Amino acid sequence: MNMSLLRVIRRLQSSFVAPQRPTLISTDAEKPNVEGREDANLFSFEYIPPQVQPEWHRNKLKYRLERMDCLRRRQAIDIPEFYPGSILAVTVADNYAPGKSMRFAGRCLYKDGFGLGCKFVLRNVIDNEGVEKMYHLFAPYIQKVELLRLEKWIDTDLRFLRDAADQSICEIDPNMQAESPLPKTEELPVYKGKIRLREIAMWEFLYHKQWPRPYNAYLEEHFIEEELIEREKIHWQTQSHLKYDICKHYDVTKIKAEIMDEMKDNRHRVDVADKKITADA
């Protein structure tokens, strides 16, 4: 090869310094989860112990063991966060079904219970027929829980949807595509719309007399104002013996902080109990 060419190449090689490969690091700090939507390993709706009126009947060891069992199940299957009002699809193992499993999609009406006994009810309207199915959240025969749409309503008890005038709220296509939910670092917008109900003579339950009074349903239009006596009107609007009975209210703020502290240690406790690690680690 030509000597001048070689010299040029060597000079370029010696003076050439490769630039540093740019690393993409996000400059914003990691945002913490919003207060209502914590990580399921730290806090969830079913970790709150049930209300016990004579306080000395509580057994904290029992509650802690149940929370550890919930943690074990959550390691095996991914249970997404959802609220009453959101649309879910659940696949369940069934020996006598074709393909050995059965899938049901529906809107969650309510979520109730503590620990492994946490149940939720899905409602779907198939061929003009309302169908409801109750599932245990931590049941071992549940193979998959898919979140199709994440919604949060003001009410946590949506059983008035059974008497809705327009039943298309609960009509859910089983082949519906899953919509990606908002990440947990952002606040979820709460649905504040009101739903019309059928005639009051067809109601299964007196929704205007329950406390907490449903916000997401039109109740006033079913009553003629002149016919209601003042005293009755105020009573069924406030249900004062339920709203103002302070000893029967359940104060959860301190309990929530305690549970979150406890759940940080529970992973370690579970591993020790399952003999994956020794207690010294």
Partner 1 sequence: MPRGMPHGNSFRKFGGPDKRLHLLKTLVNALIKHERLETTFAKAYETQKYVERLIDITKYGKSNLYCNDMVNFWVPEEAQQNKLFNVLLPRYSEHSRKYTRLAVLTEWTDKDMKSHGKMAVIELKGNPLPPLPVKEDNPHTLQNVLLAAAKQDWDYQRSNVKEN
Residues 122/137, Cβ–Cβ less than 8 Å:
no
Q: Convert residues 252-281 into a mask of x (bound to partner 1 by CB under 8 A) and - (unbound).
A: ------------------------------
Q: Could you tell me the sign of the dihedral formed by the alpha carbons of 114, 117, 120, 121, in that order?
A: negative
Min dist CB 160 to partner 1, Å, is: 14
Min dist CB 66 to partner 1, Å, is: 18
Cα 69 to Cα 7, 66, 278, distances in angstroms:
73, 5, 19
196 binds partner 1 (CB under 8 A): no
Residues 95/114, Cβ–Cβ less than 8 Å:
no
Binding piece for partner 1, criterion CB under 8 A, among 11-19, 28-36, 58-66, 243-251: 243-251
Q: Convert residues 209-238 into a mask of x (bound to partner 1 by CB under 8 A) and - (unbound).
A: -x------------------------x---
Q: What element of type H or E holds 126?
A: strand 119-126
Q: By C-beta, is 209 or 267 nearer to partner 1?
A: 209
Min dist CB 166 to partner 1, Å, is: 25
- Please give the Cα distance from 129 to 63 (Å, whole number): 40
Tokens of 265: 């240690």
Q: Which of 245, 261, 265, 274 binds partner 1 (CB under 8 A)?
A: 245
Q: Which of 97, 90, 172 is nearest to 134 (CA)?
A: 90
Q: Which of 11, 209, 241, 268 binds partner 1 (CB under 8 A)?
A: 241
